Amino acid sequence: MTDFIERAKFACALGGAISTLEGLHHVVPIIHAAGGCANYLSNTYNVAAGYRGVGYCGGTMLSTSNIAENNVVFGGEGRLAEQIESTLFALDGDLYVVVTGCQVEIIGDDAVAVANRFKDRNVIGVSTPGFRGNALKGYDAVMNALVENVIEPAAAREEKTVNLFGVVPGQDVFFKGNLDQLKILLAKIGVKANTFFATGDTVADIRGYGSAALSAVLSPAAGLDPAERLCARAGIPYVNAELPIGPSGTESFLRQIGGALNVDPALIEAVIAAEKAEYYSFLERIVDIYADLDFQRYAIVAADSYYAHAITRFLANDLGWIPHLVAVNDIEEEDEQKLYAARFDDISSAAKPRVIFEQNAGLLLEHVRNSWPRNNNGKYYDALSPAYVVGSVIESSLAEKLGAGFLSVAFPVTNRVVLSKGYVGFRGALTFVEDLLTNLVSAR
């Protein structure tokens, strides 16, 4: 059962749908809802995803049917048809996608049917009312619509090609940098990555994704549904994978994807060896300061399931930090929680993290306090220190209270500007280390 949430780190399904569409090149969203929804929800990700901006056609530029109370009484389908027609006149796009808000769904408008009347002019429709759930549900709905209306099932397979699902624009603040890096990384083992949202991806490219040999779902909470549908529709099998951050994660990711696509294991191992050598040639630079100033930290990670384990594994298995507490904010079902917690069996440090599932941001402080013996005015106290919080910007106050270092990675991120940066692979992990440690020396 869902309950209220204190400081939820998501917009609604419509917000996720808009953010996803804004991530697609030359795609024009048409929002069938009250006039404020589109700009409001777009603005959530425009600001809170590291100042991502409105992109090609977002923010105040978003086309909307601007439904008001009279339409609730009389229905808004006529108004939507007029808005689609005028949008086709005013805005250039390779694809137009009608998405819906709560109001029109409750009154029973069939927006998808209206959109289908314009099918021959590159218009598709998908139902995305906010009450359907969080932004990840909106991502899934839009991706499902792409699978069913845009991606063309192909007879011939491109053997070494993988479709990547689960990287949600905006909800992953670093989505573009991460996907760009994944493309480069997979190309090194001869695999072509179909990424939807990376630099240079177009609608024409997406139409051809039906010939891929594999889909990989990089999030436990998003992307599975469209991957399954693509499997049913085009016969493309899928695997559950994880966002690879740093040597440990990237090695197993390359072996998993390469293995599934029958890449020569010798090539995979050669690439890993070369990449790892390069990674450590740079990491070597911080060895002295790490050792001299004792940069080993107790790590507290507060993130969605997409980032939580990926980050923790890097901090513990690669950087040698002590994984203390991991708070995951987007898995509600108990079975899925157990499954996710089991991922942490691969943490190789002597100290193992406590993994909790907590949606209410304000309760994290209490979880931290309960995770460690209190100082009862003793002269000697083994404190949870030095600590470092990797979370969203909401956890900055937690870090302040704990006197801990802090880096915002999970959504929302408003205390730094993100452009092309990403944290995946070997290269991304170097950037991650730069950002983590910069915060420890930035006051100098």
- Per CB under 8 A, which of residues 53..92 are in contact with other proteins? 53-54, 56-57, 59-70, 72, 82-83, 86-87, 89-92
Q: How many residues does the chain have?
A: 444
Q: Which of 348, 369, 346 is CA-nearest to residue 356?
A: 369
Binding of other proteins by 372 (CB under 8 A): no
- The reply to whether 108 sits near other proteins by the rule CB under 8 A is no
Contact indicator for 235, 153 with CB cutoff of 8 Å? yes
CB closer to other proteins, 91 vs 184: 91
Stretch that binds other proteins, among 119-127, 230-238, 301-309, 408-416 (CB under 8 A): 408-416
Choose which of 34, 218, 399, 409 interacts with other proteins (CB under 8 A): 34
The separation between the first and the last C-alpha atoms of the chain, rounded to the nearest angstrom, is: 49
Which range binds other proteins by CB under 8 A, 28-36, 119-127, 218-226, 269-277? 28-36
Per rule CB under 8 A, is residue 3 in the interface with other proteins?
yes
Binders of other proteins among residues 202 to 261 (CB under 8 A) are none
Quick one: how far is CA 152 from the chain centroid? 25
Total residues contacting other proteins (rule CB under 8 A)?
76
Nearest to 198 by CA among 160, 163, 231: 163
Please tell me whether residue 355 adopts helix, strand or coil conformation. strand
CB nearer to other proteins: pick between 90 and 277: 90
Binding residue (CB under 8 A) for other proteins from 370, 415, 420, 438: 415
Please compute, for residue 67, the number of CA atoms within 13 A of its CA located in the half-sphere on the CB side.
27
411 near other proteins (CB under 8 A): yes
Q: Does 14 bind other proteins (CB under 8 A)?
A: yes
Taking CB under 8 A as the criterion, the residue among 394, 399, 404, 407 binding other proteins is 394
| Residue 210 beta carbon to other proteins: minimum distance, rounded to whole angstroms | 27
Binding mask 129-158 for other proteins (x = CB under 8 A): xxxxxxx-----------------------
Round to whole Å and give the CA distance between 200 and 205: 9
CB of 83 to other proteins, least distance (A): 6
CB closer to other proteins out of 101 and 223: 101
Give the integer Cα–Cα distance in Å for 176 and 165: 13
Restricted to residues 292-351, the positions that interact with other proteins (CB under 8 A) are none
- Write down the least CB distance from residue 21 to other proteins, Å: 12
Q: Which of 20, 103, 250, 317 binds other proteins (CB under 8 A)?
A: 103
Q: Which is nearer to other proteins, 135 or 263 (CB)?
A: 135
CA–CA separation, 126 and 61 (whole Å): 20
Report, in Å, the least distance between residue 295 CB and other proteins. Answer: 27
Task: Give ∠ CA 31-33-34 in degrees, rounded to 5.
Answer: 125
By rule CB under 8 A, what string of x and - marks binding of each residue 349-368 to other proteins?
-------------x------
Rg over CA atoms, the chain:
23
Nearer to other proteins, 26 or 119 (CB): 26
Pick the closer one to other proteins by CB: 86 or 375: 86
Give the start-end residues of each E strand in 141-201.
158-165, 192-194
Buried b (16+ CB within 10 A) or exposed e, 316-348: bbbbebbbbbbbbbbbeeeeebeebbebbeebe
100 binds other proteins per the rule CB under 8 A: no
Which CB atom, from 265 or from 362, has the smaller least distance to other proteins? 362
Q: What are the residues facing 161 on neighbouring strands?
A: 192
Helix (H) or strand (E) holding 405: strand 405-408
CA 54/CA 45 separation, integer angstroms: 8
Cα dihedral across residues 260, 265, 269, 274: positive or negative? negative
Which listed residue (24, 28, 111, 261) binds other proteins by CB under 8 A? 28
Token reading at 179? 């996907």
93 near other proteins, judged by CB under 8 A = yes
